[in-house]
A = this chain, B = another copy of it.
Amino acid sequence: MGGGRPRDTGVEERVVAVAREMLREGGYARFAVDQVADRAGVAKTTVYRRWPSRDHLVVAAVATFLDDVAIEETGDLRADLVRIAAAIAAGLGQPGIRLLVSELIAAGARQPDLAASVYQLWARRRAASLDLFAAAVGQGEQADDVDPGLILDQIIGAVYYRALITGDPVDDDYLKRLVSAALAGAGVSSGGLA
């Protein structure tokens, strides 16, 4: 029950940093654990000691990407929603990111124990979006029967759906109509809450 050598805490950071780089450069396909380890100056064993599979490492690396995105709320719910949706659409417009997102989804589907982590990836962003509604309600408007989650699903779901699955374009005009329809569906009057 002795102690043993303590883990080098620098390893996590270095590896994840390199992993992030490699994802940016070559995407998911050319992401090889061997190379990550090499570049990070770390043994492959050390990598596998922390992340039980390539997918786990990728998810961990992506988790650090998403921190960057900041959501600014202007108080104008409709506009804020459009802006958020546009940001997502813009991201998915880049082939690299589109692939990465797809692969993450697939990774979650492949390994059940990863699913939760992957879901959480998006959950954080979703939570930020949900705050918008709280703020809007705070500014005083009826919100009794409004389900913000449902509205978000309709909007963001549609964006992912078009970008990843149907391949249809997601332009600004579409987004405006989308947001309007979703808000209207929830009984949020055009002039009202927004």
- Determine whether A8 belongs to the interface, using a CB cutoff of 8 Å to chain B: no
Interface of A is mostly: helix
A119–B167 contact, CB under 8 A?
yes
A181–B178 contact, CB under 8 A?
no
Q: Of B116, B150, B164, which contacts A181 at CB under 8 A?
A: B150
Chain B residue nearest to A106 in the complex (CB): B102
A116–B182 contact, CB under 8 A?
no
Chain A interface category by residue count:
35 or more
B119–A166 contact, CB under 8 A?
yes
Which residues does A use to contact B, with CB under 8 Å?
A: 28-29, 95, 98-99, 101-103, 105-106, 108-110, 112, 115-116, 118-119, 122-123, 126, 147, 149-151, 153-162, 164-168, 174, 177-178, 180-187
A108-B167, A182-B185, A183-B185 known; 4 other A-B pairs, CB under 8 Å? A101-B109, A109-B164, A147-B181, A150-B158
